[in-house]
Structure formats: C-alpha cells, structure tokens
Amino acid sequence: MKLTVTIVLFCPDLVVLKRNILSIIEDVDFVTLFLNSPIPEKWVEEVLPSVLTNKIVILGTGVNLGIATALNTSAKWALSNESEYLLSLDQDSYFKPGELSKYKYLVENYKRKIGIGIFGPNINNRGNLLYNSKNDYLHVAETITSGCIYPIEIFSKGNYFEDALFIDAVDYEFCYRLEEKYGINTVVFPQVCLQHEVGEALKSLWGFKTDNYSAFRTYFILRNQLIIWKRYPNHFSKSYKRTYINSHLIGRIVKILLAEKNKYSKLKAIIVGIIHGFQGRTGFYKIQ
C-alpha cells in the first residue's frame, strides 16, 4: 500500500504535532502538512529526525483556505505522486502503536472493495468509543474526516470535497454525495481506534463539560449541518437530527450561557448560522 497522509494545520501545538507525526511516519510513504496558518520556518528540519524529513511535504502558504480546499490540494498531490491511498488526520489525532499497521492490513484485505470509497476507524473521544461493536466492519452513513483512508481513484474520478463549505460537515457531505450520486459507500472498522478529541473540553462550575467551540467554529457547525440536512434529508439520520437540535442548538445555548466566555459572539454565531443555513449560504464568513 502506497499511502500518503495529509494533516491540515491551524495554529497547531507543535509538541503534540511532533508526537503525532512520529507515531505514524514509519507506516506511511509521505506526510503532507497543509498550512492553514503559519508555522515557524525550518520547524520540520529542526524538530523531526533528519532521516524522516524526506517524507514530509509542505503545502499551503499559511493562509486559511478551509479544510475542504486543504484536503483537495493534498489529494491532488497524492494523486500526481502515484499514491494508492490517502489518509486524512486532524493535527491533534493519532494512532497508538500498531493501530495504523492493523488498519492498513484491514483496508488492503477488505474483500468487498468495489463500491467502497471511504474507510474509517473507531473514534476514541476521551475514553468514549463511537462504536461499541465486535463486528469486523460496519457499513455507516458517514464518518469524520480524521482517520479516514480513501482509495485514490475516488479523486481521480473528479470527486472532491466541497470547497464552499469551508469547514465542518465537509466529511459528512462527501459521504452522502458519494453514496447518493454514485452508490459509493463508507465502511468503518470498530476494532481500529483513533485517538481524537472533539472540541476543547471545558469543565464548568456546574459539573458538566462543554466542547467550548469558538464563535467562528460554532457558526460553521450550525450553518453547514443544516445545509446538508436540507440537501440530503434521507441520509442525515434521525439520531443526528436529534444531535443537531439537542446538542448543537439547545444544549450549546445552555452551556454557553452557563459556562463559556464570549457569550454574545457565540450566541450570535448560532443565530446567524441557522439563518444562513436555511438560506443555503456557503463560503467563508466571519462573525463580527
């Protein structure tokens, strides 16, 4: 398996990033680091062992172009450099020792590859597994970008992430579109775990935790998920519709009021995000 990994960087913790790169570098052919914000010059050469830096490719200029454009640029790089698969990782996600090797083996030996365009792992979010299943694999409607392995021919056919969504729901939209238009499905392996934390956990004085998303991120979550709900009503599951209403909308408002800072801008982000979602507005938008 010739595998390229892409990691999209936005104000990364460089200590954490180094750990995560070193955890995968021996199991991959290339790592593309797409700069959606600047990182110090010469960081790769100065921090990573020199024997490994020939696997690192820097893409992007440090200007935030959004997750979709970053992933598309990396996919095109992998395609032009004859990779067979692309693995996308968030900058703070990582595999424990042996997990990526197991994951690669399962992808390579999956017996029903025709019609599968996305492979995903189980998500371990602060000790909570997304799938409590002993099955070897599960067919799912969607999975998050971080940890996904894509057969490169998916991109060779012109299927890319939707740039206009910028960030958030880019992954779900991609899964839904591939299935609806082309009958291409998503499979996850419950026994392969990716360590991935959602949001920036903040424990409140009331005893509950909140994801503590910024106003910028809150806007895109509310807007884009509403857009794909409207666009793919048969794919956007009932459970995720409940999550949108109970967690991203009602629960988010309660947690902002009780536990988070920047209440005005975050509440405004929710309202504007919903309005723009109903309008179908896409592209970059900054909450003032």
Q: What is the pLDDT of residues 234-258, one digit of tens each?
A: 999 899 999 999 999 999 999 999 8
Sign, CA dihedral 68-74-75-80, equals positive
**pLDDT at site 54:** 87
User: What average pLDDT does the structure give for the chain?
Assistant: 92
* Domain ranges for the chain: 3-195, 202-279
Quick: pLDDT tens for 177-202: 999 999 999 999 999 999 987 756 56
From the list 67, 105, 61, the residue with the least C-alpha distance to 89 is 67
Mind listing the pLDDT tens digit for each residue in 4-57?
A: 999 999 999 999 999 999 999 999 999 999 999 999 878 888 888 776 778 999
- Residue with the bigger pLDDT between 65 and 203: it is 65
How far apart CA 267 and CA 230 sit, in angstroms, is: 22
* Amino acid occupying residue 227: I
220-253 burial string, b = 16+ CB within 10 Å, else e? Answer: bbbbbbbbbbeebeebbeeebeeebeeebbeebe
Question: What average pLDDT score do residues 78-88 get?
Answer: 97
Report pLDDT for 165.
Answer: 97
At residue 233 the predicted structure's pLDDT band, cuts being 50, 70 and 90, is very high
pLDDT greater than 60 at residue 206: no
Task: Give the model's pLDDT for residue 211.
Answer: 76
E strands, the chain, in order: 3-9, 30-35, 56-59, 85-90, 116-125, 128-129, 138-140, 148-151, 185-195, 202-203, 209-210
**pLDDT of res. 202:** 60
Range 155-178 average pLDDT: 94
Give me the pLDDT at residue 216, please.
95
Could you name the CATH architecture of 3-195?
Alpha-Beta Complex (3.90)
Q: What whole-number percentage of the chain has pLDDT above 70?
A: 96
Cα(211)–Cα(229) distance, integer angstroms: 22
**Surface-to-core class of residue 269, CB atoms within 10 Å of its CB (0-12 exposed, 13-18 middle, 19+ buried):** buried
Backbone angles phi, psi at 280, to 5 degrees: 80, 25
149/34 Cα distance (integer angstroms)? 17
